[in-house]
Amino acid sequence: MLANIVRKPYEMILAEFEGSTLPDWVQGDGDVKYHKGYSRDHEGLSGGVVHVSLTPNPSHLELVNPVVEGKVRAKQDRLGDTSRSRVMPVLIHGDAAFIGQGVVPETLLLTQLPGFFTGGTVHIVINNQIGFTTSDPRDTRSTLYCSDVVKMIEAPVLHVNGDDPEAVVLATQLALDYRK
Average pLDDT over the chain, rounded to whole? Answer: 85
DSSP codes joined into one string, 19-75: ----TT-TT-S-S-GGG--EEEEEE-TTS-EEEEEE----SSGGGHHHHHHHHHHHH
Q: How confident is the model at residue 101 (pLDDT cuts 50, 70, 90)?
A: confident
Q: Is the pLDDT of residue 151 over 60?
A: yes
Q: How confident is the model at residue 14 (pLDDT cuts 50, 70, 90)?
A: confident
Taking the model in full, what pTM does it have? Answer: 0.83
Q: How confident is the model at residue 34 (pLDDT cuts 50, 70, 90)?
A: low
Distance of CA 140 to the CA centre of its chain: 22
| pLDDT on residue 96 | 83
The dihedrals phi and psi of 52, each to the nearest 5 degrees, come to: -115, 130
The more confidently predicted of residues 39 and 61 is: 39
| pLDDT on residue 102 | 86
What average pLDDT does this structure show over 22-32? 54
Q: Is the pLDDT of residue 40 over 80?
A: yes
Q: Is the pLDDT of residue 25 over 60?
A: no
Q: How confident is the model at residue 175 (pLDDT cuts 50, 70, 90)?
A: very high
The more confidently predicted of residues 18 and 160 is: 160
Give the integer Cα–Cα distance in Å for 84 and 21. 42
* Nearest in space to 65 (alpha carbons), one of 30, 116, 31: 116
| pLDDT on residue 108 | 94
